[in-house]
A and B are shown apart, each in its own frame.
Chain A
Amino acid sequence: MKNIIRAEKVNKIYPNGCHALKDVSVNVDKGEVIVIVGPSGSGKSTFLRTLNQLETISSGAIEIDGIDMYARSTDINKLRQDVGMVFQGFNLFPHKTALGNVMLAPLKVANRPHSEVKKDAENLLNKVGLADRQTNYPNHLSGGQQQRVAIARALAMTPNIMLFDEPTSALDPEMVGEVLDVMKDLAKEGMTMVVVTHEMGFAKEVADRVMFMEDGELIVSDTPENFFDAPSNPRLQKFLSKVL
């Protein structure tokens, strides 16, 4: 099967000299769920953000669905429509209702007709369990509800890949479950997902592969069973002993 994401020897060096990513190479198949874990500052979020060019890379190559992200002919706005992103801080548009948040990109980017977009958006909100919250503004929703709206918003452009940047880290503990449930449903539907998270339970249950990053390096990439039950790398062992 062809890789839907191909990252080859990606390096990211910030102008202040900080070497955030060191030769990170990752291939993701269609429908795969990848979970990236690691201590904070290990570059996992940075790597995720390079996959839709919210961060540019210093060297290396990234291909999404066979398209070279840094080729001259590539329209990054077009490519981003195929890669949904969910943020740690939700980043919902506060001046739009839940429905308005989901509808904005299909209306303004895809220029689709209003009635059709509205119907799709209602279905998406229904799917994340927020059918009764359509007219609420983000400030009137709980964190878990906001994050579910954010997922619906990212899905509105019908992406093939979904990126999750610590989607539950800013949530109160009792709301983590509802967001993870939505993500599990997505994974079951065969969505290609790259998830940066601290939720080891989610990684064990849903991931096809779990990756461990530290100091900008991708150190381990393995199935959840091997990753959690028989870690061979001493740095991973040390990390797991702290978080489990």
Chain B
Amino acid sequence: MQLNLKSLFWNGIFVLVLLSICWLIYASGKRIDYNWNWERVVPYIATNAESSINAPEDGEIVLAANNQLVLENLSGDVIVELGNYSSLNVYEGDLIFEGDTLASIEEWRMGPILHGVITTVKISAWSLVFALVLGLFIGLMRISSNPALKKLSIVYIELIRGTPLLVQIFIVYFFIGTVLDLERFTAGVISLSVFTSAYVAEIVRSGIQSIPKGQMEAARSLGMNYPKAMMYVILPQAFKQTLPPLAGQFINLIKDSSLVSVISITDLTKAGREVVSGSFAPFEVWFTVAALYLILTSGLSWAIQALEKKLSASD
């Protein structure tokens, strides 16, 4: 009972502190004479406003065989079928020029911010996979007894960790991207995965080195060669050990992905910047963007915790 009261008291303190921080933010928001307009952000996330269907090229509206209106171009091919739209702006026999409004439609569409979220998720997911594979190899090279492999990996790790990610993105996009003719997205994935892999390599190395030497000896004494012993005995154990630091690194990866906006990839951050200039609601937009990043990172962190829990069956 005594203990219960005490924990209740301190939990109360915790809630109180959080509430007062929220109040402070709210109060300072009031002080600066800023017109908070949260509803202005919503259409940029998702909207069901009417959108118009425009003619892709010149043509004529004709009645097709199934008694539906279609747009035919000048050579007589059907390019837009209008039967599915409820509100039509054109009639049979109308002459249509490129860009004319044919019909309007009301449906839920993703706004630029959600498109940004998708780009951020895509770029982070690709980079995560490549960073993991690359980091594993560099990490294995790092513990190799072969001096060439070992020194190459040390140079790689030091070089990548010793330079800022922003600079690396510029180098990959403007130099390597020009030489190899890379797309923006590819350049973004390359720079993010190369950067993260250097950290993953160090995590992998420490994970492998934390496995007792006897494990390798036992595996080898059963006749396994080095790669098999690594694959079936050492790495599964090391993987479990390295999950918490890997989770941290991958959360960093998601956040670092915001830097690719400098090479004009419309990720969540760049979408946020664009929406600010359209909506004139910078505070609301940036808070929304922050919340969306938080959802992404906590989702990943939750997934890794679930995996950790699953792997702890043997503890």
Chain A residues with CB under 8 Å of chain B are: 52, 54, 77-78, 80-81, 83-85, 87, 89, 91-97, 104-105, 108-109, 137-139, 150, 153-154, 156-157
Say whether A108 contacts B220, CB under 8 Å. no
Say whether A139 contacts B222, CB under 8 Å. no
Q: Which residue of A lies closest to B239 (CB)?
A: A95
* 14 intermolecular pairs with C-beta atoms under 8 Å apart: A52-B221, A54-B220, A54-B221, A80-B221, A84-B221, A85-B221, A87-B214, A92-B218, A93-B233, A95-B314, A104-B232, A108-B232, A137-B314, A157-B222
Say whether A108 contacts B224, CB under 8 Å. yes
Complex Cα–Cα for A77 and B240 (A): 27
* Chain B residues in 8 Å Cβ range of A80: 220-223
* A108-B232, A139-B314 as given contacts; A91 in contact with B214, CB under 8 Å: yes
Say whether B217 contacts A154, CB under 8 Å. no
Q: Is B313 an interface residue (CB 8 A)?
A: yes
Complex Cα–Cα for A108 and B220 (A): 12
Complex Cα–Cα for A89 and B221 (A): 14
* A93-B233, A108-B224 as given contacts; A139 in contact with B315, CB under 8 Å: yes
Say whether B222 contacts A153, CB under 8 Å. yes
* Chain B residues in 8 Å Cβ range of A89: 212, 214
* Chain B residues in 8 Å Cβ range of A83: 221
Complex Cα–Cα for A89 and B217 (A): 11
* A94-B237, A104-B222 as given contacts; A109 in contact with B217, CB under 8 Å: no
Q: Is B40 an interface residue (CB 8 A)?
A: no
Least CB distance from A170 to B in Å reads: 11
Out of A78, A91, A97, A108, name the residue touching B228 (CB < 8 Å): A108
Known: A91-B215, A105-B222. 8 other contacts (CB 8 A): A77-B223, A81-B222, A85-B218, A93-B215, A94-B237, A108-B224, A108-B232, A109-B224
Complex Cα–Cα for A81 and B228 (A): 14
* Chain B residues in 8 Å Cβ range of A97: 314
Instruction: Please report the total number of B residues contacting A with Cβ < 8 Å.
Output: 22
* A93-B233, A109-B228 as given contacts; A87 in contact with B218, CB under 8 Å: yes
Q: Which of B272-315 contact A (CB under 8 A)?
A: 311, 313-315
Say whether A93 contacts B223, CB under 8 Å. no
* Chain B residues in 8 Å Cβ range of A85: 218, 221
Least CB distance from B314 to A in Å reads: 4
Q: Is B67 an interface residue (CB 8 A)?
A: no
* Chain A residues in 8 Å Cβ range of B214: 87, 89, 91
Least CB distance from A235 to B in Å reads: 31
Say whether A105 contacts B224, CB under 8 Å. yes
* Chain A residues in 8 Å Cβ range of B311: 95
Q: Which of B194-235 contact A (CB under 8 A)?
A: 212, 214-215, 217-225, 228, 232-233
Say whether A78 contacts B313, CB under 8 Å. no
Complex Cα–Cα for A77 and B229 (A): 11
Q: Which residue of B lies closest to A153 (CB)?
A: B222
Q: Is B12 an interface residue (CB 8 A)?
A: no
Say whether A95 contacts B236, CB under 8 Å. yes
Complex Cα–Cα for A54 and B237 (A): 21
Complex Cα–Cα for A40 and B212 (A): 22
Q: Please indicate which of the listed interface residues B218, B233, B240 has the most CB atoms of chain A within 10 Å of its own CB.
A: B218
Say whether A157 contacts B217, CB under 8 Å. no
* Chain B residues in 8 Å Cβ range of A95: 236-237, 240, 311, 314
Say whether A94 contacts B228, CB under 8 Å. no
Least CB distance from A101 to B in Å reads: 9
* A54-B217, A87-B214 as given contacts; A94 in contact with B224, CB under 8 Å: no
Q: Please indicate which of the listed interface residues B212, B225, B314 has the most CB atoms of chain A within 10 Å of its own CB.
A: B314
Say whether A109 contacts B240, CB under 8 Å. no
Say whether A105 contacts B223, CB under 8 Å. yes
Say whether A157 contacts B223, CB under 8 Å. yes
Complex Cα–Cα for A108 and B225 (A): 10
Complex Cα–Cα for A93 and B221 (A): 13
* A104-B232, A139-B315 as given contacts; A93 in contact with B224, CB under 8 Å: no
* Chain A residues in 8 Å Cβ range of B233: 93, 104
Q: Which residue of A lies closest to B213 (CB)?
A: A91
Least CB distance from A120 to B in Å reads: 14
Out of B222, B225, B314, name the residue touching A154 (CB < 8 Å): B222
Complex Cα–Cα for A92 and B214 (A): 9
Q: Which of B130-175 contact A (CB under 8 A)?
A: none
Q: Which residue of B lies closest to A52 (CB)?
A: B221
Complex Cα–Cα for A105 and B219 (A): 8
Least CB distance from B222 to A in Å reads: 4
* Chain B residues in 8 Å Cβ range of A96: 314
* Chain B residues in 8 Å Cβ range of A109: 222-224, 228
Complex Cα–Cα for A154 and B233 (A): 15
* Chain B residues in 8 Å Cβ range of A81: 222-223
* Chain A residues in 8 Å Cβ range of B228: 108-109
Complex Cα–Cα for A217 and B231 (A): 39
Least CB distance from A47 to B in Å reads: 15
Say whether B315 contacts A77, CB under 8 Å. no
Q: Which residue of A lies closest to B225 (CB)?
A: A77
Out of B215, B223, B237, B315, name the residue touching A78 (CB < 8 Å): B223
* Chain A residues in 8 Å Cβ range of B220: 54, 77, 80
